[in-house]
Amino acid sequence: MPHFSAVIVSLRPKQWLKNSFVLAAVIFVGAFNDPAVVGKALIAAAIFCLASSAVYIVNDIRDAPADRLHPTKKNRPIAAGQISISHAFLLASVLGISALIFGWWLRPQFGLVVAAYIIVQIFYSLWLKKIVIIDVITIALGFVARVVAGAVAISVSFSPWIIFCTFFLTLYLAITKRREELIVVNGTETRTVLADYTSAFLDQMNAIILPLTLVTYTFYTFGSQHSQWLMVTVPVVLYGLFRYQYVSNRTIGNHDGPTDIVWQDRPLQITLILWIMIAAMIIWFFD
C-alpha cells in the first residue's frame, strides 16, 4: 500500500485553490450573506476538489514516463514509484465516482457539469494536450466549467462577461505556463506539444489575450446589475495581472504553475484578497 503522505501529495491539495472559481457565482450575485447558499457553494467546491484530484491522478499516470525526465515533476509520487499504477487507478476511480455521486446529490444539473468536466479533462490528459492551441483552450474551458458549475449549484445566473473574463484569464495563465515550460525544459521529451510552440508565438498570443481579459472584466463592471462602482476594482485587477506577469518572468523554473505563484507571492495574495473585499463590499452596499 502507498504511504499516506504520497497519496495526499498525489491529490495536489495546493491545486484545490483553482476550485475557488466555483465560488465566483456567490460573489457576483451578492449571495454571500445567505448561509444556505454559501454552504451549498462550498460543498460544490469540495466536490470539484474530488473531481480535479481524480483527473490529476489520471494525468500523472499518463505522464509518468515523461515526468521522470522533468526537473521537478520527477518527484511526483506516481512518477517516483511511491504509488503503483494499479493503486493510482483505484484512487482515481474512487475520487471520480464519489464526485459524481455527491454532485448528483447536490443537484442533478450540477452533477452533469461535474461529469462533463471529468470527461473533457480525461480527454485532455489522453489526447487534447498534444494538440497545439487546443491544449490551452481546453485548460481554460475547465475553469469556465467551474464557474458555470458554481452558478448551477446555487441555481443562479450572472453576466456572460464573467464567463468570457474567466476564459481569457485562465487562457492567459495557461499560455504563460506553456512559455515557462518551453524555457525551463528546453526540449519536448516531457510535453510533446512544446515542439509546436515558440516563445515568440506564445508572447504574441498573450499580447492578445491579456488585454481581452481586462476589457471583458471592465465590460462586466460597467454593466453590472449591482453597481457600476465595481469599476473601481479595475485598477486592482490590472495590477494583479501585471504582478503575475512580473513574478512569472522573475521566477521561471522555481515554481510549478500559476497556483504555486499565488501561494509564494505575498503581494499577489494581498491583491487577490483586496479585490474580493472591495467587490464584496460594493455588491453588498449597493445591491
Rounded Cα–Cα distance for residues 124 and 147 (Å): 19
Q: Is the same domain home to 212 and 149? A: no
Task: Determine contact, residues 189/271, Cβ cutoff 8 Å.
Answer: no
Gyration radius of the chain over CA positions: 19
Beta strands in the chain (DSSP E): none
pLDDT of residue 92: 95
User: For residue 1, is it within any domain?
Assistant: no
Q: Is the same domain home to 149 and 34? A: yes
Q: Per-residue pLDDT averaged across 28-51, rounded?
A: 91
Residue with cell 484578497: 273
Return the CATH number at 34: 1.10.357.140
Q: Is the same domain home to 152 and 218? A: no
Structural domain of 95: 16-157
Task: Determine contact, residues 115/34, Cβ cutoff 8 Å.
Answer: no
What pTM, to 2 d.p., does this model score? 0.88
Residue-wise pLDDT for 129-160, tens only, equals 999 999 999 999 999 999 999 999 999 887 88
The more confident residue out of 57 and 262 is 57
Q: Per-residue pLDDT averaged across 69-96, rounded?
A: 86
Q: Per-residue pLDDT averaged across 267-285, rounded?
A: 88
